């Protein structure tokens, strides 16, 4: 029977491999959402879903994408297992956080797949302990498969060098929209904007596209971030004016 401690240990090992290989902590972020704690009840299950969602989608998106690509090409069975678990975790997280009226085929599929998963793993009525154990096992397999993909990509010195170079290039070129939000909020604070929605601002024009084009001219991410911060400062001042203390 798996427990969250075993998942945590496997995650620490995978994170260490990725950080050491790349040479920086930023490639695998700490997961700060509340961890599940016994008993294995509905709250434990919901926290496990939230943790799994962050692990899959947010903690190390560039490395996860590259390692999943290795699974797809070299370990198709493991890729299929990972993909199924990722889908159900994404569906469960959507069910927890959003309304899912059965008014579209997409929502109907999510609701149906969640019901099938629970019927197979949790029983009817739902036994949360069984559901927690099943999801723990699936998450363990995901982490083990990604770790195996990392080892496969780095066991040969020549392959390792090529893989890490492609990894570094992917990191350099990865600028997801939400990455700019912290920079926007910092700029907004400088000019005294209160209740400012960074995500709404970046979505109000072609800002992300423009900023991505600008970062491409810099040799390293640190320099690009500093430059884009200046661009965002200027844009917010142009739009909202400078701060005038009372």
Taking the C-alpha atoms of residue 145 and residue 24, their distance in angstroms, rounded to an integer, is: 23
Q: At 137, is the secondary structure helix, strand, or coil?
A: helix
Whole-number Cα distances in Å, 47 to 4, 87, 93, 112, 240? 11, 17, 10, 22, 40
* Residue 59 DSSP one-character state: I
pLDDT for 129-178, tens place per residue?
A: 999 999 999 999 999 999 999 999 999 988 888 888 888 888 777 788 88
* Residue 34 DSSP one-character state: P
Q: How far is CA 207 from the centre of its chain?
A: 22
Which range among 20-24, 140-144, 205-209, 225-229 has the greatest average pLDDT?
Answer: 140-144
Domain boundaries, the chain: 4-173, 179-240
CB of 156 closer than 8 Å to CB of 127: no
When the pLDDT of each residue in the chain is averaged and rounded to a whole number, the result is 91
């Amino acid at each position: 029977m798996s427990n969250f401690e075993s998942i945590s240990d496997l995650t620490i090992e995978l994170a260490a491999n990725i950080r050491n290989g790349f040479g920086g902590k930023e490639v695998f972020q700490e997961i700060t959402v509340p961890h599940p704690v016994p008993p294995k009840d509905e709250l434990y299950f919901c926290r496990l879903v939230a943790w799994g969602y962050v692990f899959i989608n947010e903690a190390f998106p560039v490395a996860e994408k590259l390692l999943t690509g290795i699974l797809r090409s070299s370990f198709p069975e493991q890729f299929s297992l990972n993909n199924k678990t990722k889908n159900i975790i994404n569906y469960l997280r959507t069910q927890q956080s959003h309304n899912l009226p059965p008014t579209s085929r997409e929502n109907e599929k999510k609701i149906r797949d969640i019901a099938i998963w629970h019927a197979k793993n949790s029983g009817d009525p739902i036994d949360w302990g069984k559901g927690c154990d099943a999801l723990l096992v699936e998450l363990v397999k995901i982490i083990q498969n990604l770790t195996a993909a990392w080892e496969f990509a780095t066991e040969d010195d020549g392959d390792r060098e090529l893989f890490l170079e492609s990894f570094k290039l992917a990191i350099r070129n990865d600028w997801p929209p939400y990455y700019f939000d912290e920079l926007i909020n910092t700029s907004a604070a400088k000019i005294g904007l209160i209740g400012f929605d960074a995500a709404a601002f970046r979505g109000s024009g072609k800002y992300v596209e423009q900023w991505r084009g600008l970062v491409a001219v810099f040799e390293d991410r640190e320099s690009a971030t500093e430059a884009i911060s200046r661009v965002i400062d200027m844009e917010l001042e142009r739009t909202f004016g400078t701060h005038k203390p009372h």
